[in-house]
Amino acid sequence: MALRYDCGEVITAMVTPMEKSGAIDYDKVESLAAHLISSGSDAILVAGTTGESPTLTNEEEIELVNSVKRAVANKAKIILGAGSNSTASAIEYTKFAQKEEVDAILSVVPYYNKPNQKGMIEHFSAVAESTDLPIILYNIPGRTGVNMLPETVAFLAEKYNNIVGLKQSFPDMDKVTELKMQCPENFVIYSGDDSLTLPMMSLGAHGVISVASHIFGSEIKSMIRNFKSGELIAARNMHKKLYPVFRKLFMAPNPVPVKAALAYKGLIHDNVRKPLAKLSEEERIELCKVIDSVKAELSNEG
């Protein structure tokens, strides 16, 4: 069965390159987006958590979208983070996304105010009814404080055709099984954690909304393609090789480590906006050692 809407298998939750002053470096935005497309990303998520969305203004988001559009040139889809813990604000951001003509939005479970399942249904119903854009729901209990249950996702997916998928950042494989059992067959599930991509795909997930694809995008795409073509041992071996990087990129609050990794590659500077803080020198050395080790292992077996 055809998917409701396919944003691809590897969606990169792109960081927002910044200058030392905290101003966005739009030249680096374009060059980074081009790099991501050339290294396996099928879509780019702009202004997600990895993009430091809580610190971005609407004006900055408009310019970010325009910069990524210039770099992508229709070679990949653009998804905009448009969630909020205020339903009125989420609707406003969603309408803003539609005006900017992005391909889809990511809408997170409301955070901090901790709605129950009924509140989540009412929230996402209002968002879905405000737009024609495809919507990917985002369940990340570690940041929101509440877990959206499979039956809630299934209810929304059955009621609204423009709710096309879910980013699931919750390490419970039973819940993934329940999602696949309860949701429509053409509803897409993405792993929201790089280390869970292969386990979730074994249960029917379509791909990943990734952080590690900034550094190892081609390898992640290879892992996914190998799994889908039945090359299970090759997929598992790639997962095992990349696993140390998957874990180390979350040694500090996201996106601090991945920005340090990108700086190590010479692609951007590692500047972040407060209240985030850069890695310590010891942490940076530790991260770079892991990246070099994984690269060496991939090169030796390549």
Own/partner pairs, 239-244, CB within 8 angstroms, 24+ separation:
239/197, 239/198, 241/294, 241/297, 241/298, 241/301, 242/194, 242/212, 242/216, 242/294, 243/195, 244/290, 244/293, 244/294
CA 3, CA 188: separation in Å to the nearest integer? 7
Q: Which two tokens stand for residue 179?
A: 């999602």
- Please identify which of the residues 28, 69, 167, 241 carries the catalytic annotation: 167
Number of Cα atoms under 13 Å in the Cβ half of residue 27: 2
CA 300, CA 71: separation in Å to the nearest integer? 33
Integer angstrom CA distances of residue 92 from 187, 206, 228 = 25, 29, 38
- Please identify which of the residues 5, 93, 138, 190 carries the catalytic annotation: 138
Please confirm, yes or no, whether 265 is among the known catalytic residues. no
CA 49, CA 256: separation in Å to the nearest integer? 11
Please confirm, yes or no, whether 5 is among the known catalytic residues. no
Decide: 138 and 169 in contact? Cβ < 8 Å. yes
Which residues have a catalytic role annotated?
A: 138, 167
